Structure 1
Amino acid sequence: MYELIQITENCYYIQSPAKVGLVKLNDEDVCIIDSGNDKEAGRKIRKLIDANGWKLKAIYNTHSNADHIGGNKYLQSNTGCKIFAPGKECAFTRHTELEPAYLFGGYPFKDLRHKFLMAQESDAQYLSEENIPEGFEIIHLPGHFLDMVGFKTPDNVIYLADCISSKNTLDKYKIAFLYDVEKYLQTLEYIKTLNAKIFVPAHADVCEDIQELAQYNIDKTIEVANKIEEICERPISFEHILQKLFNDYGLTLNVEQYVLVGSTVKSYLSWLKDTGKIQIVFEDNMLLWSKIL
């Protein structure tokens, strides 16, 4: 873990729970794409950079989930590097309590205010075409989270962030976290059209062809949507939908899964309602979800 792996002349990734990209800007300077899940990840990344005699100039965050920005604060404090984050993700990076608050739907209780859901705050600036390295291209990948992006480098390497999960992950956990189902499916279709020398997803193996895995993610997303629609055959509350999904998929509920999977299920419900497949009904002062027959 935290091994530096070279994939082209100037492009690398650091093998970690969420892969960190590293790109040489010249013989001395490097930038990284995301920063790992906590202060210790940042320390290990810095050690790799220092061991090669490089200087960290900037962190380019793909999105603001804690496992991608957790090393920001440590690295910025110890190297003086700049941090850039896209759109609404920048606000979440600067004010990290927003993530557990968003996931819970209110002020997050103490069990949710930890490093896996709430990174240390860092001084991020808004990402734009004007502040990316020469030859880089921002690739917009909405759906998984608010304004997620990936990056294409001059070496024709594409860092894909969290827009795609490995088959093993999908088969094990069944329901991948996402924010907007419609945009997520559009992003998956879009990445099937991309050409690159190497694709570097944060949570799947590095590969030369992304199409098959993208389609697998599409199929699994539709499978979950169909499952939820089926559960809504009769009016049912959100809590019982979540319980049914966990029981049917053999998953175990805890506070982290409640907010992560729960938020995702609500996003599916929104999409199913907006596409006319389910509706909201109120019974005995309870909001219930029901399939439109």
Structure 2
Amino acid sequence: MTAKKLTDSVYFLPGATNIGIISCFSSTKKTNEVYLVDTGMSASDAKVILEELKSLFPKEKGGYSIKAIISTHSHADHCGGNKYIIEKTKCDLLATKKESGSIQNPFLQAAVIWGGNPIPEITGPYYEAEPTMPTKIIDAAVKITLDNSSEISFFPLPGHYFEMTGVLYENSKKEKVLFAGDAVFGREHILKYWIPFLYDVKEFKQTLDALLTVEADWFVPSHGNAITRIDETVEMNKIAILSTEFCILHILRNQDLPFEEIVKQVADLNNITLKTAQFALISSTLRSYLTYLAKDNKISYYIKDNRLYWHRKERS
């Protein structure tokens, strides 16, 4: 991985999870102070990040000092490198209040997906990062002013997970970069993973609308390419969400069904061959869709013969 420059002081390191690098040369400390946005999945990712920082900020140009890691949210592929970097650099760790709990207690991610004590297939490094302790809680009211008068602020982006945050950088030239976490998925990613993991469908849709109000020169999703326009990518994400909504309503058009039959038919209609871990992820997401559709008064549910059935209220 090689970092790509977006502005004079901002880079992103492309990978399975894109990493944000925000820098500012400190005239008092004579070094480049760095804020990282996420750290990838593992210590291996963390090592790549540190090597890239050495390349970007060689000793003859002041080197670098990591001020803080900003975790957009607590999924393992975003905070899996936290522990290694914190142990090596003693930097701060910034996260929102609700995401902080899962960063400290990574087993919660698999527990949320499974709805109980999880099976082994969803308890590996992809689902459970090494635990770390955030040193500062951030929200939309927090601003960080850098020595060069640039500013880092935080933009609430809930839906994909509990309290995900976007990281918005603005320099003195009014150039802006938004690191959007998993609030929107790049085109190639959403086409490959048409049913991405979602915790709250309604909030995810509201977040997509909120992204359209953000003025920035660059938008960096955690999965996908950095882009200068976000409207087309947002539209593609909206189509994917509506597609799954319509898929569920279509399945329930003539008959009431229990949950696992809905999972099977959604997978079949989308040509997905489910393995164990993917079954758990898509099942968790489809439960979120069913909750959303029930709250939107489009479907209901009832118990019959000790099974929970889902019913479409208006049938074609």
The question of a shared fold, defined as TM-score above 0.5 by the shorter chain, is answered with yes
SS at match of 2:109: helix
SS at match of 1:136: strand
Aligned residues: 292
Q: CA RMSD in A?
A: 1.4
Q: 1:244: Cα distance to partner?
A: 0.8
For 1:190 and 1:131, how far apart are their aligned partners in 2? 19
State yes or no: 1:31 paired with 2:35. yes
8 Å contact kept, 1:144–1:162: yes
For 2:269 and 2:11, how far apart are their aligned partners in 1? 40
For 2:89 and 2:217, how far apart are their aligned partners in 1? 31
Which of 89, 97, 117 is the equivalent residue of 1:107?
117
8 Å contact kept, 1:25–1:133: no
| Structure 2 partner of 1:276 | 297
Q: 1:131: Cα distance to partner?
A: 7.0
| Structure 1 partner of 2:183 | 163
Whichever residue aligns with residue 303 of structure 2, its letter is F
TM-score, normalised to structure 1's length? 0.96
8 Å contact kept, 1:235–1:281: no
SS at match of 2:3: strand
| Structure 2 partner of 1:14 | 13
SS at match of 2:220: strand
Q: 1:133: Cα distance to partner?
A: 4.6
Which of 88, 107, 118 is the equivalent residue of 1:97?
107
TM-score, normalised to structure 2's length? 0.89
| Structure 2 partner of 1:121 | 131
Larger radius of gyration: 2
Whichever residue aligns with residue 212 of structure 1, its letter is E
SS at match of 1:58: strand
8 Å contact kept, 1:177–1:260: yes
Closer/same/farther in 2, CA of residues 131 and 82 from structure 1, 3 Å limit: farther
Closer/same/farther in 2, CA of residues 211 and 131 from structure 1, 3 Å limit: closer
8 Å contact kept, 1:12–1:21: yes
| Structure 2 partner of 1:58 | 68
Q: 1:110: Cα distance to partner?
A: 2.3
For 2:114 and 2:232, how far apart are their aligned partners in 1? 34
Whichever residue aligns with residue 49 of structure 1, its letter is L
For 1:30 and 1:136, how far apart are their aligned partners in 2? 12
Which of 274, 284, 288 is the equivalent residue of 1:263?
284
8 Å contact kept, 1:173–1:251: no
| Structure 2 partner of 1:203 | 223
Q: 1:111: Cα distance to partner?
A: 2.3
8 Å contact kept, 1:103–1:260: yes
Sequence identity percentage:
28
Closer/same/farther in 2, CA of residues 130 and 152 from structure 1, 3 Å limit: closer
Q: 1:172: Cα distance to partner?
A: 2.4
Q: 1:130: Cα distance to partner?
A: 4.5
Deviations 1:77-106 (A, max 9, x none): 111111111121110001100000111000
Which of 245, 263, 278 is the equivalent residue of 1:242?
263
Q: Identify which range, 136-145 or 48-57, moves more after superposition.
A: 48-57
Gaps of 5+ in 2: 26-30, 58-62
| Structure 1 partner of 2:154 | 138
Q: 1:278: Cα distance to partner?
A: 0.4
Q: 1:25: Cα distance to partner?
A: 2.7
Alignment of 1:175-254 (within 5 A): 175-233=195-253, 234-254=255-275
8 Å contact kept, 2:10–2:22: yes
Gaps of 5+ in 1: none
